[in-house]
Amino acid sequence: MLGAFSDSGAGVAPGARFEVYYPQSHVQTEWHLGSGKESERMVTVAIPDKYAEMLRALGDVQSAIDLAVQRYAIEQITGKVAELRQREAGYVARYGLDYVTFAQRTATGENYVHQIETQVSKVWEADLADWEFCHKGIQDWGILKLQPSSG
């Protein structure tokens, strides 16, 4: 069963609905928590009774949920960036260059490409595509800023 609570902390009947908004989300389940801006899409989340009661006892439910979601997102992003860096490090070790230099040399140096194909790997193009994905992913995830909403 799902917990029921209100922003004021007073208990309400199971099945009551509250709204929580997160930008460009389209997942909807059973519960709506908190309130938000009309320009943002709503996400619905289920919260087990034991957590709903703890959050209500701690005070501002919406702030607690926002913080939990933010921490989870940061944890997931950190893990993804670490994975991408590990994969990129493998390419640096294999080819002896950073991504930008390797991409430039393979784009402009016919002799370099021949050397790579004969001495390192015939599938360097597939490596380059994955390496680019890793390199750009690190940049993209690295600039992502998760800040508490100003409500």
| Chain segment 73-87, per-residue pLDDT in tens | 889 999 999 999 999
User: Average pLDDT in the 44-59 region?
Assistant: 81
Residue 48: phi, psi to the nearest 5? -60, 150
Last residue of a domain, which of 59, 84, 105?
59
- The reported pLDDT for the residue numbered 7 is 38
Would you place residue 53 in the very low, low, confident or very high pLDDT band (cuts 50, 70, 90)? confident
If one compares 90 and 64, the residue with the highest pLDDT of the two is 90
71 and 44 in one domain? no
Q: Judge whether 97 and 91 are in contact, CB under 8 Å.
A: no
If one compares 5 and 121, the residue with the highest pLDDT of the two is 121
For the chain, what is the domain count?
A: 2
53 and 94 in one domain? no
146 and 94 in one domain? yes
* Dihedral sign of CA atoms 41, 44, 50, 53 in order: positive
72 and 54 in one domain? no
70 and 55 in one domain? no
Last residue of a domain, which of 43, 59, 75?
59
If one compares 41 and 98, the residue with the highest pLDDT of the two is 98
For residue 95, which amino acid is it?
Y
124 and 70 in one domain? yes
**Residue 20 lies in domain:** 1-59
User: 91 vs 46, 79, 142, CA distance in Å?
Assistant: 42, 19, 19
